[in-house]
Amino acid sequence: MSPTNEPDPVRWGILGAGRIAEGAVLPALGKSPAARAHAIAARDRDRAVAMAGRCSVEKAYGSYDALLADPAVEVVYVALPNHLHVEYARKAAKAGKHVLVEKPVALTRAELVAFDGVDPRLRIAEAFMVRHQPRWQALRARLAGGEHGEVCTVSSLLSFMMTREDDFRTRPEWGGGAIYDLGCYTAMAARFVFGREPLRALAECHRDARGIDMFSSVILDFGRGRHAVFAVSLAQASAQSLQVVCERACIDLPKAYVPSRTEPNLIHIDLSQDHAKSDLTTLEFAPLDQYEAEVTNFSRAVRGETVPFYGLDDARANMAAVDAIFESARTGAWAAVEGA
């Protein structure tokens, strides 16, 4: 225990020395009171050493397996290309490590059978940092309270212009494309807001010559006329929105997926039943680094504290929705969500 009787910071190891590691995860670990960046690994040891030096990480390894063998590492963050997530998350769990896996956790729900039989005491989760925002938690609590009536429609847009030709998102065999990169977020958001699983999906994906989806539009059917509708793209201007329409309120979250680190983050609630009027309330939440919130919550969960946590069952459910999206895009018809 630390001198303040707080649990000792959880020691993290990072697999992969890419942009997500240096730009998001390592800075978050550096700021979190509950976590510490202990080690980083890359297949190019010089790259790992350089990043460790820049980011004040104690150890650097030239192989992923060497990091997994480090007895001081308690949590492994899998920050590798999509097609390697399951393989190395499974290896980390077999080595007795808790695991936070960069999204998407897998390329299909079926791949997650790899986690059958792992130690149930281990914390394993998919890294959707957005749902660790206090704003998202407040939204869910408000909806669960029922004061605005039942959720009827969720709509969302998430896009950016991909410009790097060597980006891993351009490679279909690595899990490239808009659905894997962005649609997993919007599917998760719909499930988070409705608080249950969709029954079926209808999707249209426009693929480029490489075979990756650049524009995708999706409807998720939650039953009884309750739908989530979203669009994702890797080939248009940066945009992000999340709107929830209840029986008695229209709720908007500006900058829903990438909140401001310098200005208040907002929830707009319009109670007006007349298009020509407005009855607007705005809730403010402090600026934040949502990656710090995520690694702090995960670390506290590892220490046994009660915090927001979403484990393998949630990851399986989200991948079931993604599977149905791709199946619908392939056939042009509604596709059932497995397990719904």
The DSSP code sequence of 68-104 is HT-TT--EEEE-S-GGGHHHHHHHHHHTT-EEEEESS
Domain holding 84: CATH number?
Answer: 3.40.50.720
Give the residue from 71, 102, 127 where a domain finishes.
Answer: 127
| Same-domain pairing of 180 and 198 | yes
Tell me if 313 is assigned to some domain.
no
| Same-domain pairing of 112 and 177 | no
Bridging pattern class, strands 124-127 and 59-61: unpaired
| Same-domain pairing of 223 and 101 | no
**Does residue 340 register a pLDDT over 90?**
no
**Does residue 1 register a pLDDT over 70?**
no
Q: Do 133 and 265 meet the contact criterion of CB atoms below 8 Å apart?
A: yes
Q: What is the dihedral of CA 220, 222, 228, 231, to 10 degrees?
A: -10
pLDDT tens, position by position, 99-150: 999 999 999 999 999 999 999 999 999 999 999 999 999 999 999 999 999 9
Full-model pTM: 0.94
Tell me if 94 is assigned to some domain.
yes
pLDDT for 4 equals 55
| Same-domain pairing of 189 and 265 | yes
Cα separation, 191 vs 310, in Å, equals: 12
Give the residue from 94, 127, 160 where a domain finishes.
Answer: 127
Residue with tokens 């001081």: 72
Domain holding 146: CATH number?
Answer: 3.30.360.10
Q: Which residues are bridge partners to 99 per DSSP?
A: 76, 124
Banded model confidence at residue 173, pLDDT cuts 50, 70, 90: confident
Provide Rg for the chain, Cα atoms: 20
Q: Do 288 and 134 meet the contact criterion of CB atoms below 8 Å apart?
A: yes
Mention every residue, 6+ apart, whose C-beta is less than 8 A from residue 4: none
Tell me if 304 is assigned to some domain.
no
Q: If residue 201 lies in a helix (H) or strand (E), which one and from where to where?
A: strand 200-207
**Does residue 224 register a pLDDT over 60?**
yes
CA atoms lying within 13 Å on the CB side of residue 116: 6
Residue type, 318: N
| Same-domain pairing of 270 and 156 | yes
Q: What are the tokens at 127?
A: 């890294």
Cα separation, 185 vs 222, in Å, equals: 17
Mention every residue, 6+ apart, whose C-beta is less than 8 A from residue 140: 192, 193, 195
Cα separation, 287 vs 182, in Å, equals: 23
pLDDT tens, position by position, 70-98: 999 999 999 999 999 999 999 999 999 99
Q: If residue 171 lies in a helix (H) or strand (E), which one and from where to where?
A: none
Cα separation, 331 vs 114, in Å, equals: 28
Domain extent, residue 55, equals 10-127
Cα separation, 158 vs 230, in Å, equals: 8
Tell me if 63 is assigned to some domain.
yes
Cα separation, 222 vs 338, in Å, equals: 13
Mention every residue, 6+ apart, whose C-beta is less than 8 A from residue 313: none
pLDDT, mean over the chain: 95
Q: In total, how many domains does the chain have? A: 2
| Same-domain pairing of 110 and 191 | no
Give the residue from 110, 127, 144 where a domain finishes.
Answer: 127
pLDDT tens, position by position, 260-285: 999 999 999 999 988 988 899 999 99
| Same-domain pairing of 122 and 136 | no
Q: Which among 57, 60, 114 has a CA at the least distance from the CA of 91?
A: 114
**If you count them, how many residues does the chain have?**
340
| Same-domain pairing of 241 and 105 | no
Cα separation, 154 vs 328, in Å, equals: 20
| Same-domain pairing of 138 and 283 | yes
| Same-domain pairing of 33 and 105 | yes
| Same-domain pairing of 280 and 160 | yes
Q: Do 319 and 104 meet the contact criterion of CB atoms below 8 Å apart?
A: yes
